[in-house]
Amino acid sequence: MRREDVAALLPIIKAWGEGKEIQYFNSITKTWGNIGVDNPSFTMPDDKYRIAPEKKKGWINIYKNSTGCDATGGYIYQSKEAADMTPTSFDRVACIEIEYEEGQGL
């Protein structure tokens, strides 16, 4: 391993030491997966590793719109209480907790 490789991997290794989830890029499936081991070797090139994106939680309101179809209000609330306090002229049919990662599904 070259010094440049160590310098590039250092933030990843530090994050792993702090208990953060580390992911590797699978070149065959073209997806990121969790390392999932207690003693990773970090032998792949540094661009094949990343700190796993932070999972976020929030609440969305579902409404029956003027055509009778279900639609979201287009906003993610930090709490159910905040979602419950949102005034609207549409009939709310559900308030749903969601979990997501930034960029998911794009």
**Distance in angstroms (rounded) separating the CA atoms of residues 24 and 42:** 9
pLDDT of residue 90 exceeding 90: no
| Domain co-membership, 21 together with 44 | yes
| Domain co-membership, 7 together with 47 | yes
Query: What's the confidence (pLDDT) of residue 86?
Result: 82
**Distance in angstroms (rounded) separating the CA atoms of residues 76 and 105:** 16
Q: Could you read off the pLDDT of 36-88 as tens digits, one per residue?
A: 878 888 887 778 899 998 889 999 999 887 787 788 778 899 999 999 998 77
Q: What percentage of the chain carries pLDDT values higher than 90? A: 38
Mean pLDDT of 9-17: 91
Query: What's the confidence (pLDDT) of residue 40?
Result: 83
Number of domains making up the chain? 2
Q: What percentage of the chain carries pLDDT values higher than 70? A: 99
| Domain co-membership, 66 together with 47 | no
Nearest C-alpha neighbor of 22 from the set 10, 6, 4: 10
Nearest C-alpha neighbor of 23 from the set 55, 1, 62, 70: 55
CB 22 within 8 A of CB 49: yes
The domain in which residue 22 lies consists of 3-51
| Domain co-membership, 46 together with 70 | no
| Domain co-membership, 39 together with 67 | no
| Domain co-membership, 45 together with 63 | no
Mean pLDDT of the chain, nearest integer: 86
Tell me, yes or no, whether 87 lies in a domain.
yes
Contacting residues for 92 by C-beta, under 8 A, at least 6 apart: 61, 62, 63
Query: What's the confidence (pLDDT) of residue 68?
Result: 76
